[in-house]
Amino acid sequence: MSEITVFTARRVRTMERSMPVAEAFAVRDGKVLEVGSLDTMKPWLSRHSHVIDDTFADHVIMPGFIDPHLHPSMAALLLPMEFTTAVDWDLPWEDASAGGAVDNREQFLDRLAELERGLPEDEPLFAYGHHPIWHGELDREALNTISTTRPVIAWHRGYHSLIVNDACLDWMGIDREAAARHPQIDIDRGSFFENGLAVANRHFASYTMATERFRSGLDRMRQVIHAGGQTTIGDAAFGMYDFEGEWTHLQAVMERPDTPFRMMLMPVAAALRAGVDSASDMIELIKSFPERNSHRLRFLDHVKMFSDGGFFAELMMLKEPGYLDGHEGEWMTVPETFEEIARELWNAGMHVHVHCTGDLGVELSLSTLELLQWERPRFDHRFTFEHFGISSAQQVERIARAGGLVSAQVYYVYELSRAFANNTLGYERASQMSRLGSVERASIPFAVHSDFTMAPAKPLNNAWIAANRINLEGEIMCPDERVSLDAAMRAITSNAAYVLGLEEEIGSLRWGKQADFAILEDDPYDVGAEGLRDIGIWGTVFEGEKFAN
């Protein structure tokens, strides 16, 4: 039997209601043995060999933070690109906006031209961060002014769309006539969006998913996750590019001794369904995935679905009165197909997570849940509304009655609430985006997530936004939708574990759970909601092993 290690701390915040605060905890074989104090642990310590580790005597220890919804493969794709975002990005290896945020059209085009001049002759220019609200509308002709010979790709800040120049269309080898018939490709503009983006990705794959480039991006993602104090993350759309290719890359990069976190992999239902002959084949395939499980990479019985389009991309489906300019959103899964696939998963006992960004997307997801509960009632189904951009208080009440969960993308409030108030939705709906105060009042378990790279993978920052609702401009947006400090902290610990179905393993500190800890410079409950995002993170302990930042 291994030796016991007892970690002491200035304070231990367990997130366990029976013993919320402790002074020390004992660890053996990567698991928590007991939480309490050196005095209360004497029955263990008097009988077993042990060491006292006071490395964290001046620190505050919490359960390792959990981000239940981000996209490692998307991060691997985007992180090697040039960032041209309107808001600064602070990454562990650099300030990705070191030249300053690019917040108008002239700056954006100048930045593209500067980047183009600095590239080797045979390299395409992939630039991530375009958003029409700040940078104006783009099209193929605008990018032709940057280069007529080099492929130029302006990837939307919200990921769900991109614009390319003529040289890129030639480089992709795309059949322009066939592309023109696709409902989510505008070949005249050089625009690929939602399902049309998948077409572009297939043509880019030999470059963007080349082994060295892709694994370099995954390694950068590893650094981001650790810097944020996270010890468990959820890949909420595994296989979105190439299931077997992504699996091979993840095994090579993530299954290393210096990776201080684990990943829960959530496959995309629609992609799986399209690749098999029947619903039963899809279910059997999903059930077979856990056979692949390794130390840090795990499939459960959680599956991802998509309703409407991207929030940053202003493609969410909205109820009346719709968008200020009258444009329409996009379905990622048409309602008839959505209901069919959801029923197949529901009847097989799967835990369904649905990307839904607009209130009409929420309505499709919610009405489907209500229908399925009527057809075949289930307890503890944990049907989860992901992102939850625009919703109504009445929809929240129905989610509570139907037993649903919420995993919210609260960073929308910080970066987009004022911009969307002025340009997209009007003030009322924009101020209430990512409503969580209503969710807390309805006693719905909820988590917050980054959807990285849609937001920085910094759980304390997400908790800060949820508890304060302060946007980029310094305004408090709909203060009644703020959550309590305790709820904000549970949204990145115990409730985030619950959303992933892992509450017996992680999310709080008690006997038998994984010895995963976030090591903080200050106590969140002392600094209060206003100070959450400024708390320093020493590093983490993952399964009993220390990993400093």
pLDDT digits (tens, 9 = 90+) for 466-484: 999 999 999 999 999 999 9
E strand spans, 343-469: 351-356, 384-387, 405-408, 446-448
Stretch(es) of the chain classified as CATH 2.30.40.10: 4-58
What pLDDT is stored for residue 461 in this prediction?
98
CA-CA distance, 501 to 300, in Å (whole number)?
9
DSSP 442-495: TT--EEE---TTSS-S-HHHHHHHHHH-B-TTS-B--GGG---HHHHHHTTTHH
CA-CA distance, 234 to 244, in Å (whole number)?
18
What pLDDT is stored for residue 100 in this prediction?
63
Stretch(es) of the chain classified as CATH 3.10.310.70: 72-208
One-letter amino acid at 528 equals G
Q: pLDDT band at residue 280, thresholds of 50, 70 and 90?
A: very high
Number of H helices, E strands in the chain: 22, 25
What pLDDT is stored for residue 199 in this prediction?
94
Which DSSP helix (H) or strand (E) runs through 90? Answer: strand 90-91
Choose among 252, 275, 254, 276: nearest CA to 264. Answer: 254
Q: Examine the pLDDT at 98 and tell me if it is beyond 60.
A: no
What pLDDT is stored for residue 495 in this prediction?
98
CA-CA distance, 166 to 175, in Å (whole number)?
13
What pLDDT is stored for residue 88 in this prediction?
84
**Total count of residues recorded for the chain:** 549
Overall average pLDDT of the 259-265 stretch: 98
- Which residue is associated with the tokens 């880019």? 204
CA-CA distance, 6 to 374, in Å (whole number)?
51
Q: Examine the pLDDT at 97 and tell me if it is beyond 60.
A: no
pLDDT tens digits, one per residue of 212-236: 999 999 999 999 999 999 999 999 9
Overall average pLDDT of the 82-87 stretch: 91
Are the beta carbons of 548 and 541 closer than 8 angstroms? no
What pLDDT is stored for residue 235 in this prediction?
97
| Residue 10 CB-density burial (10 A; 0-12 exposed, 13-18 middle, 19+ buried) | middle
| Residue 526 CB-density burial (10 A; 0-12 exposed, 13-18 middle, 19+ buried) | exposed
Overall average pLDDT of the 385-407 stretch: 98
Q: How far is CA 65 from CA 24, 205, 260, 450, 516, in A?
A: 19, 32, 12, 12, 9
Strand arrangement of the beta sheet that strand 351-356 belongs to: 302-306, 351-356, 384-387, 405-408, 446-448
CA-CA distance, 80 to 59, in Å (whole number)?
34
Q: Examine the pLDDT at 185 and tell me if it is beyond 80.
A: yes
- Which residue is associated with the tokens 């020390």? 24
**The listed CATH number (1.10.10.10, 3.10.310.70, 3.40.30.10, 2.60.120.200) that belongs to domain 72-208:** 3.10.310.70
**The listed CATH number (3.40.50.300, 1.10.10.10, 3.30.2010.10, 2.30.40.10) that belongs to domain 4-58:** 2.30.40.10
What pLDDT is stored for residue 50 in this prediction?
97
Provide the terminal-to-terminal Cα distance of the chain, rounded to the nearest Å.
30
Task: Supply the pTM of this predicted model.
Answer: 0.95
pLDDT tens digits, one per residue of 132-154: 999 999 999 999 999 999 999 99
Are the beta carbons of 372 and 331 closer than 8 angstroms? no
CA-CA distance, 368 to 402, in Å (whole number)?
11
Q: pLDDT band at residue 91, thresholds of 50, 70 and 90?
A: confident
What's the mean pLDDT when you consider all of the chain? 96
Are the beta carbons of 304 and 236 closer than 8 angstroms? yes
CA-CA distance, 131 to 92, in Å (whole number)?
24
Per cent of the chain over pLDDT 90 is 95
pLDDT tens digits, one per residue of 26-65: 999 999 999 999 999 999 999 999 999 999 999 999 999 9
Overall average pLDDT of the 4-9 stretch: 98
pLDDT tens digits, one per residue of 358-388: 999 999 999 999 999 999 999 999 999 999 9
What single DSSP character describes residue 350? P
Q: pLDDT band at residue 96, thresholds of 50, 70 and 90?
A: low
Q: pLDDT band at residue 317, thresholds of 50, 70 and 90?
A: very high
pLDDT tens digits, one per residue of 481-494: 999 999 999 999 99
Overall average pLDDT of the 13-17 stretch: 98
Which DSSP helix (H) or strand (E) runs through 538? Answer: strand 537-542
What pLDDT is stored for residue 99 in this prediction?
54
Nearest 5°: the CA angle 223, 353, 494 is 60
Overall average pLDDT of the 61-88 stretch: 95
Overall average pLDDT of the 526-540 stretch: 98
Q: Examine the pLDDT at 238 and tell me if it is beyond 80.
A: yes
- Helix, strand or coil, per DSSP, at residue 63: strand
What pLDDT is stored for residue 89 in this prediction?
83
pLDDT tens digits, one per residue of 330-341: 999 999 999 999
- Could you tell me the two tokens for 49? 């060999």
Are the beta carbons of 437 and 485 closer than 8 angstroms? no
- Could you tell me the two tokens for 443? 């006693």
Q: Examine the pLDDT at 259 and tell me if it is beyond 60.
A: yes
Overall average pLDDT of the 156-171 stretch: 95
- Which residue is associated with the tokens 């996270």? 230
